[in-house]
Structures are given as structure tokens and as C-alpha cells.
Amino acid sequence: MLRIRRSLPRTRKLLIFVLAALVTLLGTQEIYSVLKAYNRDDALPNGVSSLSAGLATDFQAQADTTTAVKARTNYTGPAQASTGLTKTTAGSPQTSLLATDEVEDARLFKVVVQNNVVRAPRVSNSSAHKTNPKTNKKARKLESQSLHMAIRLPGSPFGPNGSEAGGSSSDGLSVDLIHNDEKVDLEEELVANEKYAPSWETYTIQAGDTFADMAERTLGLGYSEVMQLLKKIPDKKTFTRWRVGDSFDFKINESGKLSALRIMEDGRSGLLIERGDDSKSFEVTRFEKVAQTTERLYAGIVNGSFAQSASATGLSYSEVLELSNLLSKKINFRRDTRRGDQFQVLVEVAMIEGQDTDSRILAAHYEGAKIDLAVVRNPTDDNFYTPEGYSLSPAFNRKPFKGNYRISSSFNLRRKHPITGRVSPHRGTDFAVITGTPIQSPANGRVVKSAYQANGAGNYVVIRHDNGYKTRYMHLSKRLVSEGERVSIGQKIALSGNTGRSTGPHLHYELMINNSQVDAMRVQLPEGKRLSGQALVAFKKDAKQFLAQLDHDTTSSMVASRSKQP
């Protein structure tokens, strides 16, 4: 507007100023005339005082607290819409005056506002107040203008277009208005009297979360409470093993403090931490969830590698790994397997709350062109045997570790020493393993030596096994067993390293029969044990049932699923 005004010529600016002044004077004169006509005593009903200068304030109060009121009169003739004018008199509640064009005796209603609800008593005597016909026209004009002002006031019960918000009834305003004060008060009272009952909530670990932050932000614990809680936990690493996506359950009491905390250590067992009766200490107990056991039968055909073929049947990664390790004790997958070989696997799965937690293989059957092997788990000792009762696990493992590692130096009685260059027999087998690789006992036995040799073997361990064989392990980074200690097959006894007279990290492994070193990779090792007596009878009974399930003919990868109650 300022830009437009500045761009106009000077003569036009003066003309606009004169017109604005004229409009202002005419508007002021019109308002004064209306007020003067309305303030005459004969323009108002008897008993009603003159309109005060605070007209806008009265309309504001009415617009914020009342709703539009409609009245009906008993007469014959054309219907007319009534308008209302509300004003406040000293010492009395708000009142509303209703006037009509066609009826001579307008009725006066007394409207009381309580808690934003309009209440109207019975109609007063119609003959008590009458409108002067001479001033009726001016009064109606002022009422129309006043109503227009009330419509435009903030908080008015009318809509933006002047229409009443919501629907309306042709019967007018009911005397007994329905309201919900009692219902609201009752609901608030019920909520206030309801006893607080904490419920279990779940928190999922997010990136960047630490237990200290979660304890303060989510669990409502202070520093002293966190330290006290850590003292009660059996394993101090319980709160540091969490990964993104892991979760824990908790309860918060009425004061916003931790009431109970539930942490799962694995799929089946966990810790329950509860606040003590003194509200300052914590109590920790272990618990286990009840699992339902399900048996699943898988069948497949070798097409490519055995691991890929087993995975194609629906077996999980851990189940494929367990099956491969199990069959590899008797089957060389590179030499003995052929395309088209068939296999079946019976797996027992533990389910908690509809989710698979852990599983184990009960039986397996591999039927190929070069080998036919069936194995069954014995529930008595949890080891695998052939249907005839022969142990699948050898009495003596070929290598003292899990997995496959390259042989850097074989057993060789005519080898030249890598440091001196002279012919020096190598009476063991060197494996190229990195420092810290776990070393396991290949059979049951007892430790006869656990010591350190500075310019030779470094850290070394010697074990005498139950069948009379001896094994020796050199250049270790750490010894985990002591002299005289009893060890079992597969037990971790040391960590590989590069100590003593060594050119790099490796494991020197020796096998001695009758105190003479032999090639551990070629010598004939003792077979596993065989069940006998009642143990063999009980095993064959269980094996017969498992083998019958394995022989079930089907073309589907999942042959059967059978639930067993815990």
C-alpha cells in the first residue's frame, strides 16, 4: 500500500485524504444517531436499563459463555426469525431479550450460565413487557448490528460464515439441557482410585546405547543403584554383551523407578532382577522358559557341494555345520561323494513362544554310490553310534584342533633344518596357525609336563593318553593346563604361538607310540568304543524308531514335523 501511495501524483494523494476523512465523519455520525435513538426511554421495555458504554465487553462475555437461543410463540401467520440482545444488569445474572417482528408481546427469558452450560427457566409473563411501535424499527436495526458484532467476536458459538456450528432443532431450546458432567467426574474418580499395576515393557537396543545411559533414561536408576546392581550380577559382562537388535524386559513402579528387569542369556535361560522390599537393594534369580520340542525330518540330493545341498533342504547354518562335522568323521566329502547321492536328517528343535531357540541332530542317513552310512544319537551319553552300536567318534582324533590348517612342515626324518641348514630330522608335524588358535586334546589322558624351554620348544605341553600314546605341543603362546591334570577328548589345553626356537607362528605337534615319534597324519589310530550289554539293547530300540523315520519316502525337503511335550 505504501508503494502504491508513493507512486500516485500529489493531487490524487490529497483527494484520497479528503475521501478518507469524509468516510470517517459519516461513519461516526451514523453510530451516534443509532445510539441516541436506542438510548431513549421509550425505545426499551419497562425495567430494562440503558445500554452502557461497555457494549463490546458484554457481547464478548456472552459470546464466550452462551449459545444461541430460539423461542416459539403461539400465533398464526408467517414465521419470522427472532434476534436476541443480551445485556447484564447490576446484581443479576446474564439475561437475554428475545424480540419478534410479528408478535406484539415478546417473551422475556432469564438465561443462567453455569460451567459453560445454558439453563433456561420457564417463560415469564408475556404482558409485563411490550415494545413501543414507534421505536421498533430503530431498535431492530441496532439489534441487527449488535448481533453482527457478536458473531464476529472471538469464541463466538457461530461458524465463520455466520451459521450456527452443528445442527439445530425446530422445537427450540429445551428447558432441561443434557450434559455429561457427572460422567466425566465419575471417570476421573475411577482413574484416581484405580490401583497402579506395573506391566512388562520391552526395550530394543539401538546403535550407540550403553547400559549407563539406558539405566538412567529408561529404567530410572541413579549411579549408586547401577553400581549396586552390577555387584549382584553373577557375570559382570551381562550388560556388555548386548548387540543392536537385542532386547530386555523391564517394569517401572509408580514413582518411575525400576521394579524388575528380565535379561535372557540365551534362548532358554536368563536372569530376573527384582527390587527388594527396602526399595534400595536388588535380588537376582535364574529362570528357564519351558520349551516345546518338535522333530523335523529333512531329505535332499547331493548336487554340487554337500554343504550347499544340505542348506537347500531348509536346514539352518548351524544344523548344516553340525551335520557336516558329524559325517566327516567317516566320509571324505571330496573323495567319497557323488552327484545324485541321497541323505536324510532328523532334527529335534526346541521352540519357546513359537520361536526356534536351539536344535540338535537325532539321526542321519547318507546313501551314496561309494558309501552308505547311518548314525544315531545315543540319549544316554549324547554321542553318535552306528546302528550296530559302534561309536562314530574315534578314540583318538587325527588333529588337535577344529577346522583345517595348512601343513607348513610334514613329518620328515631327512629334512634340513631351516635355521642351521644341516640335515635334522623333523619328528613332528607343523601347522601354519595364527597365534592364539585353540589347541585341543585329541583323546582322554593326563598332563605329564607343562613347562617353558627358552632356546627350544618355548611353552610346551605333554599328555599321556589312556591307550598308552603320548602327544607333545610346542611353541605355544599360553598353557591352559597344569601337570597332573586330567583332560578329556576335545578339551582346550593351550593356545598356539611363536615362542622358543621358531621362525614364525605355528604349532609343532608330535605323536609318540612306545616313546617313539611317528607320523600323526598317517599312522593307524584306534577305533571308537562299542556299546555292549543293556546299553546296546536300549540303544538299538531307540535307533530302530529313528531309522524308520529316516526311511520315510517323500519328495519334499521337509518330510515330517512332530511335536513332543516337554
- 23 and 57, same structural domain? no
- 59 and 90, same structural domain? yes
- 53 and 28, same structural domain? no
Q: What is the pLDDT of residue 190?
A: 55
Task: Classify burial at 537, counting beta carbons within 10 Å of its beta carbon; exposed 0-12, middle 13-18, buried 19 or more.
Answer: exposed
Q: Point out the domain boundary residue: 122, 152, 182.
A: 152
Domain presence at residue 352: no
Residue 194's pLDDT band, with cuts at 50, 70 and 90, is low
Domain presence at residue 372: no
What's the mean pLDDT when you consider all of the chain? 74
Task: Classify burial at 284, counting beta carbons within 10 Å of its beta carbon; exposed 0-12, middle 13-18, buried 19 or more.
Answer: middle
CA distance 314 to 298: 8
Identify residue 30 by its one-letter amino acid code: E
Residue 7's pLDDT band, with cuts at 50, 70 and 90, is low
Domain presence at residue 389: no
Domain range for residue 17? 2-38
Q: What are phi and psi of 275, to 5 degrees?
A: -75, 135
Query: Looking at residues 514-531, what average pLDDT do you find?
Result: 88
Q: Point out the domain boundary residue: 288, 323, 358.
A: 288
Residue 187's pLDDT band, with cuts at 50, 70 and 90, is low
Q: Domain containing 282 — which CATH number? A: 3.10.450.350
- 141 and 98, same structural domain? yes
- 65 and 18, same structural domain? no
Domain presence at residue 277: yes
Query: Looking at residues 400-428, what average pLDDT do you find?
Result: 84
Domain presence at residue 24: yes
Domain presence at residue 299: no
Domain presence at residue 311: no
How many domains, in total, are found in the chain? 4
Task: Classify burial at 40, counting beta carbons within 10 Å of its beta carbon; exposed 0-12, middle 13-18, buried 19 or more.
Answer: middle
Query: Looking at residues 378-398, what average pLDDT do you find?
Result: 89
Q: Which residues contact 279 (CB under 8 A, 6 or more apart)?
A: 257
Placement of cell 578339551 in the chain: 491
Specify the range with the lowest mean pLDDT, choosing from 43-57, 380-394, 457-471, 541-555.
43-57
- 14 and 89, same structural domain? no
SS3 state at 257: coil
Q: Domain containing 413 — which CATH number? A: 2.70.70.10
Q: Strand ranges (DSSP E) for 196-301?
A: 201-204, 247-252, 258-264, 269-275, 282-288, 292-301
C-alpha cell at 37: 435513538
- 506 and 454, same structural domain? yes
CA distance 491 to 472: 15
Q: What is the pLDDT of residue 113?
A: 44
CA distance 538 to 471: 36
Question: 413: closest CA among 428, 394, 399?
Answer: 428
Is residue 175 a contact partner of residue 122, using CB atoms and an 8 Å limit?
yes
Q: Which residues contact 67 (CB under 8 A, 6 or more apart)?
A: 118, 157
List pLDDT tens digits, range 247-290.
888 988 878 888 888 888 777 788 888 888 777 788 888 888 77
Domain presence at residue 185: no
Q: What is the pLDDT of residue 162?
A: 45
Q: What is the pLDDT of residue 495?
A: 97
pTM (two decimals): 0.47
C-alpha cell at 61: 462475555
Task: Give me the residues paired with residue 543 across strands.
Answer: none
- 499 and 453, same structural domain? yes
- 219 and 137, same structural domain? no
- 124 and 221, same structural domain? no
Q: What is the pLDDT of residue 70?
A: 39
Task: Give me the residues paired with residue 545 across strands.
Answer: none
CA distance 244 to 209: 8
CA distance 431 to 402: 12
- 55 and 31, same structural domain? no
List pLDDT tens digits, range 92-106.
444 343 333 434 443
- 32 and 45, same structural domain? no
List pLDDT tens digits, range 292-329.
888 999 999 999 899 999 999 999 999 999 999 899 88
Is residue 475 a contact partner of residue 496, using CB atoms and an 8 Å limit?
yes
Q: Point out the domain boundary residue: 288, 307, 322.
A: 288
